[in-house]
Amino acid sequence: MTYSAEQLQQIENFASIYLKISDMAVILGIPAEVLREDIADHSSEVSQHYRRGKAASKVKLLHQEMMLAQVGSPLAIENTHRNLLDMEDDE
C-alpha cells in the first residue's frame, strides 16, 4: 500500500506512544492486516517510520532509567544492567 507523508508521520507519532497497530489501522482507515504486513516489511517506508517512532520513545525511557540508576534506584540499576547486557548481545 502507498502511504501519504501525513499518514507516515501519524504512524511514527502513534508508534512513539506505543499505540497498537490495530488501533492505528482504525484511526487511519486501513485494514489492520495490511498495516501489519507493511510494517513487517523492514524495507518499507511505513516500517521505517513505525520503528523510528518506537525507538525515539525507547531512547527517552532508557535515558530516564539511566538517570534514576545514577541516583541509586535499585530497580533502575537492575534494569540498566539488563539493558547493557542486551546491548552487548546485539553487538
Task: Tell me how many domains the chain contains.
Answer: 1
SS3 content of the chain, % helix, strand, coil (to 5): 80, 0, 20
CB of 7 closer than 8 Å to CB of 45: no
DSSP string, 71-90: TT-HHHHHHHHHHHHHHHHT
State which residues form the domain around 76: 5-89
pLDDT, average across residues 15-26: 98
Q: Which residue has the cell 499505540?
A: 19
pLDDT digits (tens, 9 = 90+) for 24-78: 999 999 999 999 999 999 999 999 999 999 999 999 999 999 999 999 999 999 9
CA-based R_g, the chain, Å: 16
